[in-house]
Amino acid sequence: MNPETAYVRDPWLDRWLPLLREATNHAAHPVLELGCDTGIDTAWLLRQGFAVTATDIAIESLRRGRQVAPTAHHVQHDLRTPLPFANGTFGSVVASLCLHYFAWEATLAAAAEIRRCTAPGGLLLCRLNSTHDVNHGAAGHEEIEPNYYRVNGYYSECKRFFDCAAVETLFARGWQFLNLEERTNHRYEQPKVAWEAVLRATGQSPAATAISPGTRTGSPAATRPPQ
């Protein structure tokens, strides 16, 4: 739980509510929130009427999450391991700023697991650190893999930053991009630049395959959301 943001809601999900409603059949296909931290987005999702399963690796974050979002189903889970859910369980998945701590192979595997657990036609709302996020570690650190740095950060020793090609590569299989935008938010003292990706699960759910960031296999459609 980062004390800097523990109680501040960053309303990034609001503009996607109509799409979330359309993709999520509340009873049969709940929302999965990954890296839920202290439950601020979880509580918002519950207030919109969704059934929510919320996961995080940190026990203390989950404890706080259970307080602010008591009707969500909380599960401790490490995103470097398979998700403990059946294929196609969720109508929507929310993954905000939690997929950037891992080596590339593990990042690909996490994306494949997300796809496996998303129902065909379901939605993924995702935010990923941008390579332009210089205020938050995208420069000046030891590089372990391309755009993956030893930052000795609050949540993890290492942090990844994505360029457009890496985001496209990560979701090249089993997803259709509905939107991909680089946006600046002001949730921290210094502005933060992140990719906001909105994706629809297509018919097939491929296994994780070793493809390098920058191997472009598709391009996002330019559908823009309501501002």
Ligand X SMILES: C[S@@+](CC[C@H](N)C(=O)[O-])C[C@H]1O[C@@H](n2cnc3c(N)ncnc32)[C@H](O)[C@@H]1O
List residues near ligand X by CB under 6 A. 5, 35-37, 56-58, 61, 77-80, 96-98, 101, 155-156
Q: Could you please report the per-residue DSSP string of 124-142?
A: EEEEEEBTT-GGGTSSSSE
* Whole-number Cα distances in Å, 8 to 35, 73, 83, 94, 188: 16, 22, 28, 18, 10
Closest approach, Cβ 34 to ligand X, in A, equals: 7
Distance CA 28, CA 6 (A): 31
Closest approach, Cβ 148 to ligand X, in A, equals: 14
Nearer to ligand X, 35 or 213 (CB): 35
- DSSP letter, residue 173: S
Closest approach, Cβ 155 to ligand X, in A, equals: 5
Closest approach, Cβ 153 to ligand X, in A, equals: 9
AA identity, residue 135: N
Distance CA 61, CA 35 (A): 9
Closest approach, Cβ 219 to ligand X, in A, equals: 26
- DSSP letter, residue 171: T
Residues in Cβ contact with 83 at an 8 Å cutoff, skipping those fewer than 6 apart: 32, 55, 77, 113, 114, 116, 117
